[in-house]
């Protein structure tokens, strides 16, 4: 059976559905990020403790994705993604009624479990259903949707938190997510290349071994860990910086500044297309340079320079993540694609959880320069991994040329 071809009606429906699914997932996941300062004040907790509202979700999401891949092999890709989006929307609505910090953490933990069904399966679905020549662009649309979702969630909650309170913001976001989930269920084409294999512990273990035994995949897993760790660290704590002098910005204005993250959507589309024709390791390296430059710009003490820094940082991050995540699907052998994608996302969200929380300690101990120092160290390590990947790519090309 042929794959979904570029320009077809099924192709357009897939793009729209994946965009909606990404928006729901990442709007709900990152919507509290601009509220961390308010949570610190409202619940009398430290920045590191407040960041657990994000970290609890990303940690449970990362762990559960390892199991979701096994269930999707038995129950189907679309079924899992639809169930994930509906459960996420309901839990988002429930979290808006939280009256204590501990209850909010519990609901955010459950949200991470429900969220895991979409990102764990989306890349596998796309690699299975879309024609290989177009996968880079489609992956760019999917990753671009994560930027749009993150922006929409943060802005909706920030604006409504200023107008009413954060409870109203989370409630409205949950209701909007429910509507988008209905459209996703109605429009996404059914899997045509999926073959049920049943739930088997042996197959699951073999799949994980296959995903971990490929030495070309390991640097990509580490790249995801470092990239999202640095990204979440910056955006977890930028609100603490901007709310104080010399900036003194309100919650609404801080939330609206996340509009500059939308450049990440364009970056994903642009680098997704480049990845089909150019060196992926080189593109990851280019993304790292942009993010490093952006991070340093936030130290200038000027709002305009900080905004430019946020734009560059987001552009570079989404470039690197788009290329790395798409590369995983191309490298992984067919039987292990779902497991390799899940492992990439496991490390990706572990970076968010562990490094994102660690950034709060750097903020408390060394203020904003300490946070930027941590982020720059992570990006330098990412650049080293990109150089390793480039070296392996040239080595593989040399062997093929000798043949």
pLDDT in tens, 108-136: 999 999 999 898 788 778 878 888 777 77
| Cα 282 from Cα 304, distance rounded (Å) | 29
Question: Alpha-carbon torsion 227, 230, 232, 234, what sign?
Answer: negative
Residue 232 lies in a domain: yes
Residue 230 lies in a domain: yes
Residue 164 lies in a domain: yes
Tokens of 193: 């290349």
372-234-390 Cα angle (round to 5)? 75
> Residue 394 — very low, low, confident or very high, per pLDDT cuts 50/70/90?
very low
Residue 79 lies in a domain: yes
Does residue 201 have a pLDDT over 60? yes
Residue 316 lies in a domain: yes
- Its domain, for residue 377, covers 10-185+207-402
Residue 151 lies in a domain: yes
| Cα 383 from Cα 355, distance rounded (Å) | 17
Residue 1 lies in a domain: no
Total-model pTM: 0.79
Tokens of 7: 């320009």
Does residue 244 have a pLDDT over 80? yes
Query: Which of these ranges, 34-38, 175-179, 203-207, 340-344, has the smallest mean pLDDT?
Result: 203-207
pLDDT in tens, 212-226: 888 889 999 999 999
| Cα 148 from Cα 341, distance rounded (Å) | 22
Q: Which residues of 268-290 are buried (b: 16+ CB within 10 A; e: fewer)?
A: bbbbbebbbeebbbbbbbbbbeb
Question: How much is the pLDDT for 75?
Answer: 74
Residue 2 lies in a domain: no
Contact between 297 and 306 (Cβ < 8 Å): yes
* CATH number (domain holding residue 45): 1.20.1250.20
Domain count, the chain: 1
pLDDT in tens, 282-303: 999 999 999 999 999 999 999 9
Question: How much is the pLDDT for 401?
Answer: 37
| Cα 379 from Cα 395, distance rounded (Å) | 24
Contact between 281 and 393 (Cβ < 8 Å): yes
């Amino acid at each position: 059976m042929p794959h979904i071809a570029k320009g077809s009606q099924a192709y357009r429906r897939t793009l729209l559905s994946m965009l909606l699914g990404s928006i729901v997932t990442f709007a709900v996941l990152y919507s509290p990020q601009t509220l961390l300062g308010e949570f610190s004040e409202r619940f009398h907790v430290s920045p590191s403790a407040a960041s657990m509202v994000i970290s609890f979700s990303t940690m449970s999401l990362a762990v559960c994705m390892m199991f979701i891949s096994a269930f999707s092999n038995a129950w189907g890709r679309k079924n899992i993604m639809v169930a994930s989006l509906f459960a996420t929307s309901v839990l988002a609505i429930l979290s808006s009624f939280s009256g204590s910090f501990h209850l909010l953490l519990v609901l955010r933990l459950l949200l991470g479990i429900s969220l895991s069904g979409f990102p764990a399966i989306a890349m596998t679905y796309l690699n299975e259903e879309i024609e290989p020549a177009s996968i880079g662009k489609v992956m760019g649309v999917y990753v671009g949707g994560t930027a749009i979702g993150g922006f929409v969630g943060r802005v909706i909650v920030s604006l409504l938190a200023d107008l009413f309170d954060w409870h109203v913001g989370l409630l409205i976001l949950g209701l909007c997510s429910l509507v988008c989930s209905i459209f996703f269920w109605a429009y996404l084409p059914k899997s045509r290349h999926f073959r049920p294999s049943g739930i088997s512990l042996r197959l699951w273990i073999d799949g994980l071994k296959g995903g971990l035994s490929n030495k070309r995949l390991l640097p990509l897993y580490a790249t995801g860990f470092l990239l999202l760790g640095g990204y979440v660290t910056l955006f977890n704590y930028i609100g603490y910086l901007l709310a104080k002098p010399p900036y003194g910005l309100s919650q609404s204005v801080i939330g609206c500044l996340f509009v500059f993250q939308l450049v990440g959507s364009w970056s994903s589309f642009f680098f997704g297309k480049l990845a089909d024709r150019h060196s992926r390791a080189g593109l990851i390296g280019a993304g790292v340079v942009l993010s490093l430059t952006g991070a340093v710009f936030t130290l200038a003490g000027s709002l305009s320079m900080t905004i430019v820094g946020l734009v560059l940082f987001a552009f570079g991050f989404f470039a690197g993540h788009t290329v790395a995540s798409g590369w995983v699907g191309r490298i992984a052998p067919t039987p292990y694609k779902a497991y390799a994608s899940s492992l990439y996302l496991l490390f990706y969200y572990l970076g968010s959880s562990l490094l994102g929380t660690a950034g709060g300690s750097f903020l408390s101990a060394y203020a904003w320069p300490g946070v930027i120092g941590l982020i720059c160290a992570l990006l330098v390590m990412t650049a080293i991994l990109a150089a390793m990947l480039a070296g392996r790519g040239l080595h593989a090309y040399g062997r093929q040329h000798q043949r």
